């Protein structure tokens, strides 16, 4: 993919550093209820694939938020570090942890039908509803 670059990021206190070798610079936002409860608002992440190395692993707390996903945060400062798809080990990392800000493009939003009415992004993006997200992944799993 053309949009993949190396990304280096860190949590607020610096106890955990992240090195991603194939970070997609397209930013996705999730409006689902779990993401909004986790972070207090929509979750903006970049797909870092499977090649992600964390320094300071002793500071990472992992929470199994569903059968298929795990969420990680720093035990010292509470910064959210990743949303991990357990099957396949694909990391989605909050975009705010990285410094390459001018290289990111906000391109897609998921669970758009779960977004509460009190906010909306002005960016023009590709959007998927909950049903579209689940059927998209079901198709991939069943993939011929
Ligand atoms: Zn920290
Ligand atoms: Zn979500």
CATH classification at residue 107: 2.170.150.70
pLDDT at 57: 96
Its domain, for residue 81, covers 4-141
Ligand number nearest CA of 38 is 2
Ligand number nearest CA of 36 is 2
Ligand number nearest CA of 73 is 1
In the predicted model, what is the mean pLDDT of residues 49-53?
Answer: 97
In the predicted model, what is the mean pLDDT of residues 74-86?
Answer: 98
Q: Contact, 19 vs 35, CB < 8 A?
A: no
pLDDT at 141: 57
Q: Which of 23-27, 34-38, 94-98, 135-139 has the lowest mean pLDDT?
A: 135-139
Distance in Å, CA 11 to ligand 2 centroid? 20
CB neighbourhood size of 32 (10 A): 18
Q: Which distant-in-sequence residues (6+ apart) come within 8 Å of 103 by Cβ?
A: 5, 25
> How many domains are there within the chain?
1
Full-model pTM: 0.92
pLDDT at 90: 97
Distance in Å, CA 38 to ligand 2 centroid? 9
Label the pairing between strands 43-49 and 90-94: antiparallel
Ligand number nearest CA of 77 is 1
Q: Contact, 17 vs 81, CB < 8 A?
A: no
* Tokens encoding 138: 């079901």
Q: Contact, 137 vs 128, CB < 8 A?
A: no
pLDDT tens-place string over residues 93-131: 999 999 988 999 999 999 999 999 999 999 999 999 999
């Amino acid at each position: 993919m053309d949009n993949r670059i190396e990304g280096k990021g860190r949590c607020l206190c610096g106890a955990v550093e992240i090195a991603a070798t194939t970070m997609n610079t397209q930013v996705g936002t999730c409006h689902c209820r779990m993401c909004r409860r986790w972070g207090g608002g929509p979750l903006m992440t970049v797909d870092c694939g499977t090649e992600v190395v964390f320094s300071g692993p002793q500071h990472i707390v992992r929470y199994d938020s569903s059968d298929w996903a795990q969420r990680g945060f720093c035990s010292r400062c509470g910064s959210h570090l990743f949303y991990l798809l357990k099957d396949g080990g694909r990391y989605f990392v909050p975009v705010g942890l990285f410094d390459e800000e001018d290289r990111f493009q906000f391109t897609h939003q998921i669970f758009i039908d779960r977004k509460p009415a009190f906010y909306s992004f002005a960016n023009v993006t590709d959007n998927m509803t909950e049903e579209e997200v689940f059927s998209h992944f079901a198709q991939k799993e069943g993939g011929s």
